[in-house]
Structures are given as structure tokens and as C-alpha cells.
């Protein structure tokens, strides 16, 4: 029937499927990578820094060596169990919520841009050495997006996992922004110290989150990049099946109506909903109520 097809299910829009739970896989990969690094990979014995760090973490040396992938891969690596635990909590409670609210393509851009902005701004103020690791830029960028999208929606959370506290997202965003700016100025800008906490990367992530919010809000969206396979050669029979508008649809005949709808759905499955003609959309829309009966 019409609503039994996989591509007709999802968020309620015709042809829109459920979003892929990207963050679930990011959580799993980060967790596995942390333990693989800690248990399997050997260290080079120089200041306790493993050889593989420069191939995963983002750094000035890696950037000059054209390790271009590290501008994203650093988000999968964490320095210590507490660092890992804090970021996994943020990804689970904040970023997953943002993922469920965003278009799939826009969310991918949010992930990429928060990591890139975080890495670039960190590099500007930390060229004296050190490495950048962790998904904090993504977490803070997600927080920025969420708080701007729902500034007045009350949120209740457990302070120190004990005390229930209710705040509005805009207050949370201002508090976090003030905290990050203060420690960025005091530790990275004035004293130019290599800090264990990359506040500049956090601010870069928050800036990217705000940029994504305003771009999506204006309705511009982000360009969609897809790998498209070469078009398949279709037989005359197949081509004819993809053009049900050539047939006269008798809405009083249930069997003929079902056949016409099936052919339209085959066309959607083959070419997408946007390939339908105005007549085909009208047939499909009118058939909804009739086939439900």
C-alpha cells in the first residue's frame, strides 16, 4: 500500500527519511579509539608523546606537513578519561538533540564547520607548540546552535549530578560564552600559555554554531554534496513504467488506481520526489484518502 513503503515513512514529509543517528557512531568511534590508543599503540619515548599523535591530533607541525585530515580527526581523540567522559556527555545530551532538530545535510555542515573553526582559531593563538584534541568545539558549537534556536525554552539539569537547576538557554549561552572569553584572554591571549583547555577552540566552535544557526534561519541552507552513480540504461518497458501520467487514472477502479500509484512510487524510488510532474503529484495526493479507506 501507499504508506507501507520505506521512503514514504519518516518525519511526516513525503519522501523524507529519518535522520541518520550520526552522533551515535561518533560516540562509539571516540570510545573505541581512546582505548585502542591507550592499550595498543606504542609510544616513542620522547616526552611521553606517542608517534601517532601527529597523525590524528591537530597541531602547527601537522598543518605545515599537510596532514589536512587532522583538522577533523582531532575531534575523535581525547586526552584522558575525564576529557573523554565530559565530551561524550556533551555529545549525547546536547549534540544529539541538535541533530534531531536539523536537516541531515545542515547537521553535517555543523559538525565539519565547528571542528574547522575550532582548529583554525586555536592555531592562530597557539603556534608555539602543543596539539589540539577532543570534540569540545563540536559540543560548544552544538550548545550555541541550540541556545540560539530555543533561547527561552526552560531546561532543567542536575548541577553536580545532584541539585536540580532550571535555566533558560540564552542564560546558559551567555554564561558559557563569558567563561570561555575570560579564560581565553587570561591564559592564551595575555600570557600565551599552552593550556590544557583549548578555550580558543571552544570559541571557534561556538562561532561556527552561531553561523550555522543564522544561515539555516534565513532559509539559505548549505549546499548538498552527493556521490551520484552513472545513470543506468533503461529498457523501453522501464521507461514507460516511470511515466504513469500517460495513463488515464480511473479513481473509481481500486485496482487501476493502485497500479497507477505503484508506478508513481516506483518513479519516486528511482528518481526522487522532485521528478514527479504536477499531474502525478495530484494523482498521488488524491489517492491518499482513497487508499486509506
How many domains, the chain? 2
Which one-letter DSSP state was computed for residue 41?
A: P
Any idea which of 8-22, 66-80, 193-207, 222-236 has the lowest mean pLDDT? 8-22
* Residue 7 pLDDT grade (very low, low, confident, very high; cuts 50, 70, 90): very low
> Based on the domain organization, do 188 and 169 belong to the same domain?
yes
pTM of the model: 0.67
Q: Is residue 205 part of a domain?
A: yes
- Residues 173/148, Cβ–Cβ less than 8 Å: yes
Distances (CA, A) of 16 to 63, 66, 103: 39, 39, 10
Q: What is the pLDDT of residue 12?
A: 38
Across the range 23-32, mean pLDDT stands at 85
> Based on the domain organization, do 207 and 260 belong to the same domain?
no
> Based on the domain organization, do 199 and 243 belong to the same domain?
no
- Residues 279/245, Cβ–Cβ less than 8 Å: yes
Q: Which three cell numbers stand for residue 92?
A: 549525547
Is the pLDDT assigned to residue 81 strictly greater than 70? Answer: yes
Is the pLDDT assigned to residue 242 strictly greater than 60? Answer: no
> Based on the domain organization, do 163 and 239 belong to the same domain?
no
Q: Is residue 2 part of a domain?
A: no
- Residues 277/268, Cβ–Cβ less than 8 Å: no
> Based on the domain organization, do 269 and 203 belong to the same domain?
no
SS3 state of residue 232: coil
Alpha carbon 179 to its chain's center: 25
**pLDDT tens digits for range 245-281:** 454 555 666 677 777 778 878 777 777 666 677 777 7
Which one-letter DSSP state was computed for residue 4?
A: G
Q: How far apart are CA 98 and CA 106, in angstroms?
A: 11
* Residue 233 pLDDT grade (very low, low, confident, very high; cuts 50, 70, 90): low
> Based on the domain organization, do 190 and 233 belong to the same domain?
no
Tell which wins on pLDDT, 12 or 142. 142
**pLDDT tens digits for range 96-151:** 889 888 888 899 999 999 999 999 999 998 877 788 999 999 999 999 999 999 99
> Based on the domain organization, do 60 and 198 belong to the same domain?
yes
Question: Which residues are paired to 167 by β-bridges?
Answer: 155
> Based on the domain organization, do 93 and 202 belong to the same domain?
yes
Looking at every residue in the chain, the average pLDDT score rounds to 77
Q: Is residue 154 part of a domain?
A: yes
The pLDDT > 90 percentage for the chain reads 30
Q: Is residue 164 part of a domain?
A: yes
**pLDDT tens digits for range 34-57:** 888 766 655 444 444 566 677 889
- Residues 3/71, Cβ–Cβ less than 8 Å: no
Look at residues 192, 217, 242 and tell me which one is the last residue of a structural domain. 217
> Based on the domain organization, do 148 and 260 belong to the same domain?
no
Q: Is residue 16 part of a domain?
A: no
> Based on the domain organization, do 169 and 242 belong to the same domain?
no
Q: Is residue 141 part of a domain?
A: yes
Q: Is residue 183 part of a domain?
A: yes
The pLDDT > 70 percentage for the chain reads 71
Question: Which residues are paired to 59 by β-bridges?
Answer: 131
Look at residues 182, 217, 252 and tell me which one is the last residue of a structural domain. 217
Q: Is residue 73 part of a domain?
A: yes
> Based on the domain organization, do 237 and 273 belong to the same domain?
yes
SS3 state of residue 58: strand
The contacts of residue 210 (CB under 8 Å, 6+ apart) are 144, 145, 148
Look at residues 169, 184, 217 and tell me which one is the last residue of a structural domain. 217
CATH number of domain containing 38:
1.20.1540.10
> Based on the domain organization, do 232 and 212 belong to the same domain?
no
Domain extent, residue 239, equals 228-292
Amino acid at each position: 500500500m501507499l504508506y507501507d513503503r520505506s521512503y514514504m515513512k519518516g518525519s511526516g514529509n513525503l519522501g523524507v527519511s529519518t535522520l541518520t543517528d550520526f552522533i551515535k557512531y561518533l560516540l562509539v568511534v571516540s570510545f573505541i579509539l581512546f582505548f585502542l590508543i591507550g592499550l595498543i599503540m606504542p609510544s616513542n619515548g620522547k616526552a611521553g608523546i606517542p608517534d601517532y599523535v601527529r597523525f590524528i591530533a591537530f597541531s602547527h607541525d601537522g598543518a605545515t606537513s599537510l596532514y589536512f585530515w587532522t583538522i577533523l580527526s582531532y575531534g575523535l581523540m581525547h586526552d584522558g578519561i575525564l576529557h573523554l567522559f565530559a565530551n561524550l556527555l556533551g555529545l549525547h545530551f546536547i549534540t544529539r538533540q541538535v541533530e534531531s532538530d536539523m536537516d541531515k545535510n545542515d547537521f553535517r555542515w555543523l559538525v565539519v564547520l565547528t571542528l574547522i573553526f575550532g582548529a583554525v582559531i586555536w592555531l592562530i593563538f597557539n603556534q608555539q607548540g602543543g596539539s589540539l584534541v577532543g570534540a569540545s568545539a563540536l559540543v560548544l558549537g552544538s550548545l550555541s546552535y541550540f541556545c540560539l534556536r530555543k533561547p527561552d525554552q526552560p531546561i532543567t539539569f542536575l548541577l553536580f549530578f545532584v541539585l536540580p537547576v532550571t535555566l533558560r538557554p540564552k542564560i546558559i549561552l551567555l554564561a558559557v560564552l563569558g567563561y570561555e572569553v575570560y579564560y581565553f584572554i587570561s591564559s592564551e591571549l595575555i600570557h600565551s600559555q599552552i593550556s590544557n583547555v583549548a578555550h580558543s577552540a571552544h570559541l571557534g566552535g561556538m562561532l561556527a554554531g552561531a553561523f550555522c544557526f543564522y544561515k539555516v534561519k534565513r532559509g539559505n541552507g548549505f549546499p548538498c554534496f552527493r556521490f551520484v552513480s552513472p545513470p543506468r540504461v533503461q529498457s523501453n518497458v522501464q521507461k514507460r513504467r516511470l511515466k504513469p501520467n500517460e495513463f488515464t487514472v480511473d479513481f473509481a477502479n481500486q485496482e487501476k488506481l493502485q497500479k497507477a500509484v505503484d508506478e508513481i512510487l516506483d518513479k519516486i524510488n528511482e528518481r526522487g520526489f522532485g521528478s514527479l510532474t504536477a499531474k502525478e503529484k495530484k494523482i498521488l495526493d488524491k489517492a491518499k484518502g482513497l487508499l486509506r479507506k
